[in-house]
Amino acid sequence: MKKNKAHNKKAPVESFEMTDTPKNTKAAMKRLLGLLLQQKRALAVIILSTLASMGLYTITPLILGRAIDQLIKAIKAQGYGGGFTALAEILGFPLVLLTAAYMLSSCFSFIQEYTMAGVGERLVLSLRKKMSEKITRLPLRYYDSHQTGELLSRTTNDLDRVAEVLKTGTLQFINSVFNITISIIVMLTQNSLLTVLILAALSVSVLATKWISGKNFEIAAENQAVLGELNGKIEEFYTGNLIIKSFNQQEEVTKTVREISQRQYAANKKAQFILYAIYPAIRFLTQLGFVMTAIVGGIFVVKGSMTIGTIQAFLQYVNQISDPITQSSYFLNSLQAALASAERVFEFLDEEEEVPDTTSPAHISSPKGAVDFQHVRFGYHQDAILMQDVSFTVRPNEMVAIVGPTGAGKTTLINLLMRFYELNGGRILIDGTDIKELPKSELRKMVGMVLQDTWLFNGTIAENIAYGKMDATREEIVQAALAARCDHFIRTLEYGYDTVISSEDGSISQGQMQLLTIARAMLANPALMVLDEATSSVDTRTEVEVQKAMAQIMKGKTSFVIAHRLSTIKSADIILVMKNGTIIEKGTHDELLSGNTFYADLYNSQFANRAVVS
């Protein structure tokens, strides 16, 4: 979304920095859990499925251990001559149990993963809906003080990161916690001393993983920062390609991209090394527990305090819990980043919204277009008031021209009329009704705007023209295009009114875009029309034609014209001359020109400049 041009003393745009550390971990976690708990039934299914799946998976080493012990016992008692039948009698039932445990564990795991995917998607979908609704309720002040990139990052990257952790990372973490807990409990029931020794050995792996994952986190953040810088430069150079070539800066651009690319290569290489090369070292450390189990277990077997089957079960448990321990350490880092993203999403959702419509709104069924500013006071900040006391009255069907130097507050005046900003004092009336008493949608439906900064949405030409009247017929769209003098160029396009365009693709010129926005305002047929240098992007001949069309279409409407070329507003019923946010002069063109006025100085200086240029 593009911001409307306003006074140059707007709220400063805040710089934003996407950090991966939440400001308040506890608060972010509590709020995220609160959203998750809205799906209590699904969470209960996940927990029960996890308990069942991990419980069945954890008892399989014990089943296999008992089978091995029975086999060894049979061999000792009968020798090796039992044959296949004896072997089947010994191992048949344990194998059936093993198969059933694995199959049931897989079924419960499927239920768990399927349910968790739904929980994650529903939560993210609800957040996306809330953010989409929030965007429409934010005041213009928010867009004045925040970069577009920040908003995009919060609505896309941050939500994607939260979704990824919820749908995959959280599931792995839950499995890991249950797996580790149940395995340790079972191991303690078999041999507490060996269990403590194994956990002590695995703690070395945990500490190493924590240290390495912290380094990986830092390096990954550095890599992302350099990658963001590279993407920003590439976008800038791509957009400004014409300027780069015009000033012969191709070599400098290439040098800049090469330098940033080299830094990104080095950062990414380091990140990839930490991610892939260090992991085997962690695996090596986790095997210490496996080796210790084998050695100590062998000693216990020799002493007769443990069976070979139990040792085999312990060896399996070491393998079962070593990977989850490592995964849990990595998950905690990714969770931290996800909480930081969730925190930024929550901050956006908590932003101050537009003042809501009154509970008992007034309505203007047939607006006539009378406008009355009464002692209006306004500032973008309380301590920097721009307009101290602005008052003027416009009768229905009058044309009001607003002139003044850059930053005088011309567009701000219109933004106040549209109630994009709230007043600090005074009031604005339309047909005798305070605009605060009108629903915003009804107020803005009464006003049509053609801005100097054109904006077209991705869609057909017909859809763009009908944006202010979505139910318009094709005939009405064509009539508006004819009135705005853009029907001819539309028909020269391959698909005519069904040609897909946007403000970014460059398929039509800036002047043609301006004509389409004029057609859009004409089709909406509002009671009040606002033209902010509406013909600034068209040539002189087209400007004359458009002004004739506008004069015809604005019959019976009150119009506000913000103009820099004073020759175009000679016929205005009222000219408001603004300076530093205040109306310093008002009157007709002849009245203002006849005296020693600021308007006369502006008007004469424009013609003097033209004479010098010619």
Q: Where are the alpha helices (DSSP H) in 525-597?
A: 540-553, 589-594
Structure confidence at residue 504 (pLDDT) = 67
Q: What is the DSSP string of 232-262?
A: HHHHHHHHTHHHHHHTT-HHHHHHHHHHHHH
Give pLDDT tens digits for 115-133. Answer: 988 888 888 888 889 988 9
CA atoms within 13 A on the CB side of 548: 8
The CATH architecture one would assign to domain 371-613 is 3-Layer(aba) Sandwich (3.40)
Please report which confidence band the pLDDT of residue 213 belongs to, taking 50, 70 and 90 as the band edges. Answer: low
| pTM for the model | 0.69
Least confident of 3-12, 291-300, 553-562: 3-12
Question: Average per-residue pLDDT in the chain?
Answer: 82
Structure confidence at residue 544 (pLDDT) = 72
Q: Are strands 558-562 and 528-532 parallel, antiparallel or unpaired?
A: parallel
Closest CA to 308 of 28, 75, 606, 566: 75
499-527 average pLDDT score: 83
Q: Compute the Cα dihedral for 535, 540, 544, 546 and give only its sign.
A: negative
Please report which confidence band the pLDDT of residue 160 belongs to, taking 50, 70 and 90 as the band edges. Answer: confident
Q: Which of the two residues, 326 and 242, has the higher pLDDT score? A: 242
Q: Which of the two residues, 529 and 210, has the higher pLDDT score? A: 529
Helix axes 25-36, 308-349, angle to 10 degrees: 100
Least confident of 61-65, 271-275, 326-330, 477-481: 326-330
Where does residue 548 fall: left (phi above 0), alpha (psi -120 to 50 degrees), or beta otherwise?
alpha
Please report which confidence band the pLDDT of residue 236 belongs to, taking 50, 70 and 90 as the band edges. Answer: confident
Is it the case that residue 16 has pLDDT exceeding 70? no
The residue extents of the domains of the chain are: 22-190+331-353, 192-305, 371-613
Is it the case that residue 455 has pLDDT exceeding 50? yes
> Which fold, 22-190+331-353?
ABC transporter transmembrane region fold (1.20.1560)
Give pLDDT tens digits for 370-387. Answer: 999 999 999 888 778 888
